Amino acid sequence: MSVRIRPFAAADAAGLRALILPIQRDEFAVAITWEQQPDLHDVDAFYRGGAGEFWVAESAGAVVGSVALKDIGGGLGALRKMFVRADHRGHAAGVAQRLLDTLVAHARARGIAAIVLGTTAQFLAAHRFYEKNGFRAIPPEALPASFPRMAVDTRFYRRDL
């Protein structure tokens, strides 16, 4: 399986929706709609300011993964929208690792000192993945005021670069 990690393009919008919504709603029963995710309606405006960027993993012409870095100021970045299609998950596929490695390299190159993220209690595999990659759990009170917190997020992590 050949997978290419590249910056998001406007033509990826439908593929991104087809990737993210089924994972959120069907796999993890997170009651969220496309309309409740305005950041995905204008990726350039929401993510590409400052050191921010949005990447997709593409395989056979389909979007099979995503990750975003939002520059939230003060040398901090927020990791958002980390999703990998079920048939591309796991250590052997390496898609999640490649997406995260791309984000971290980009963040370091642009002077981001730490990355923070929020996730839901249901995403247990994500918790293990982030912890394996040097993120440590933090209480909500430790989040910077500029962190774009989602209502569904209940677990938070930080990784200093």
Query: What DSSP assignment string belongs to 70-90?
Result: EEEETTEEEEEEEEE-GGG-S
Q: How far is Cα 102 from Cα 74, in angstroms, rounded to an integer?
A: 21
The predicted-structure confidence for 124-160, as pLDDT tens digits, reads as follows 889 999 999 999 999 999 999 999 988 888 999 999 9
Residue 98 has pLDDT above 80, yes or no: yes
pLDDT, averaged across the chain: 94
Query: What mean pLDDT do residues 6-24 have?
Result: 96
What local confidence, expressed as pLDDT, does residue 81 receive? 95
Helices H / strands E in the chain, number of each = 4, 7
**Per-residue tokens: 53:** 């960027």
Supply the range of the domain harboring residue 150: 4-160
Structural domains of the chain, count = 1
Start-to-end CA span in the chain (Å)? 31
What local confidence, expressed as pLDDT, does residue 107 receive? 98
Query: What mean pLDDT do residues 46-74 have?
Result: 97
């730490």: which residue's tokens? 114
Region of poorest pLDDT, from 2-6, 23-27, 85-89, 93-97 = 23-27
Strand order across the beta sheet in which 4-7 lies: 4-7, 53-59, 62-73, 76-84, 114-119, 155-160, 136-138
What local confidence, expressed as pLDDT, does residue 30 receive? 82
46, containing H or E segment:
helix 43-47
What local confidence, expressed as pLDDT, does residue 86 receive? 92
Query: What mean pLDDT do residues 20-35 have?
Result: 89
Question: What is the domain-level CATH number for residue 146?
Answer: 3.40.630.30
What local confidence, expressed as pLDDT, does residue 50 receive? 97
Q: How far is Cα 135 from Cα 148, in angstroms, rounded to an integer?
A: 18
Residue 4 has pLDDT above 80, yes or no: yes
- Candidates 160, 123, 122; CA nearest to 138 is 160
